[in-house]
Structure 1
Amino acid sequence: MKQIVFFGDSLTQGYGLRDPETASFPALIQKTINENGGGFNVINAGLSGNTTFSALNRLKPILEMQTDIFVLELGANDLIRGHSASDVEANLQYIINQVKQHHPSAPILLLGIELPGWIPGAKAAGYRNIYNRLAAKNEIHLVPFLLEGVAGIPHLNMFDGIHPLAEGYEIIARNVWNTLKTILEATQNKPGN
């Protein structure tokens, strides 16, 4: 069976959910895949607190997994901790390079993070186009804003205003599925599949 690896932070892991194994957005995507005929197994390799720096420390074993599609979601914690935009972009590029080297035929889907309005303009400027730039440069797929329709909506988020509640993750799963389903269809229709 083909495998989709979701590599990210708490947003991928499903931080704070009662049952991340069924309510995180990768789990919800697995449910949707199963309802649409299956054929793909989802691996949730999200780890709460990961930055693009700390994620590099656990990348090697992830790259050793069977990977037919790689979904990359990182960067929110870097922003919160004040890491430079150039470092974040370089780290994401390194991860993309490693995935391409280890799994050259696996499509990559990059999940973008937008900045909250309270981030000062000077600090935010460098972050604005990281994901668009990386997607264009590497010719990979992009969901421009993972939290579209969820960020800033109190009843969809936990008390911290950062992590979604289960209802928020349902919206996120739909956001990702809209792009991922076309990748799945293309992967299934490749010669030899």
Structure 2
Amino acid sequence: MALLLALAGLPVLAADTGERTVLVMGDSLSAAYGLAPREGWVALLAEKLRSERPGWSVANASISGETTAGGASRIASELARHSPEVVVIELGANDGLRGLDLAQTHGNLERMIRASNEAGARVLLVGMRLPPNYGPQYTEGFERNFVELAQAHQAALLPFLLEPIALDRDAFQADNLHPVAEAQPKLRDHVWPALLPLLD
């Protein structure tokens, strides 16, 4: 199956071949919303790993619209399914856009980090920022969640996934939320330096 996917030009996102696995738990930003799956930054990351870190594969368990509550409810089953060495948690944006309680978001992310650590996996927490119209108290508290959790659990932190493209309107689809295909390599390259130390 892996050979067939490779011949078709598709990344092998999960493989039962004894490879070490990076599990990505994300929302639409990691699920290639509005794009072909192979165009998303996670699929591009799988390709980069295959060429530069042989023996590593990527399992993309991201779901468009996912909240931290959804991720927390799925983390145990995804850990059991993939037995990852590294878990990338890219969740929280939908909590913030819906104005959900910051303490609940914090608790859900913490549950995911702890479950990953207990399963023997290292964690990369990928943060997000909100538009200023949510008010400084909420937006600052939202960003602080990621920093505090990374520090408390000694997780790697990438503070803002969209940092390389955030000010470029042409990098986004018509909804002004989801990056276009041409922007995905920039996201992959932004994640890569934060992920790389966890692969050793």
Q: Structure 1 length normalisation: TM-score?
A: 0.89
State the Cα distance separating 1:37 from its structure 2 match. 4.3
Q: Does 1:55 align with 2:71?
A: yes
Asked whether 1:46 is paired with 2:65, we answer no
- Equivalent residue runs for 1:1-193 within 5 Å: 1-17=19-35, 19-20=36-37, 22-64=38-80, 65-101=82-118, 103-104=119-120, 106-184=121-199, 186=200
Superimposed CA distance per residue, residues 133-155 of structure 1 (whole angstroms, 9 cap, x where no aligned partner): 11111001111111111124211
CA contact (8 A) 1:86 1:126 kept: no
CA distance in 1, matches of 2:28, 2:55: 26
In 2, Cα distance between the equivalents of 1:161 and 1:28? 22
Q: Which runs of 5+ in 1 are unaligned?
A: 187-193
The AA in structure 2 aligned to 1:25 is W
Report the RMSD for the aligned CA atoms in angstroms: 1.3
Counterpart amino acid of 2:57?
N
* Deviation (angstroms), 1:57: 2.8
Change (3 A) 1:53 1:37: closer
Which residue identity is paired with 2:58?
V
Structure 2: give runs of 5+ residues left out of the alignment. 1-18
What are the Cα deviations for residues 140-173 of structure 1, in whole angstroms up to 9, with x where unaligned?
1111111111124211001111111112211110
Q: Which residue of 2 aligns with 1:190?
A: none
State the 1:114 CA deviation. Answer: 1.5
CA distance in 2, matches of 1:86, 1:4: 27
Query: Is the CA contact 1:152–1:161 (under 8 Å) kept in the aligned structure 2?
Result: no
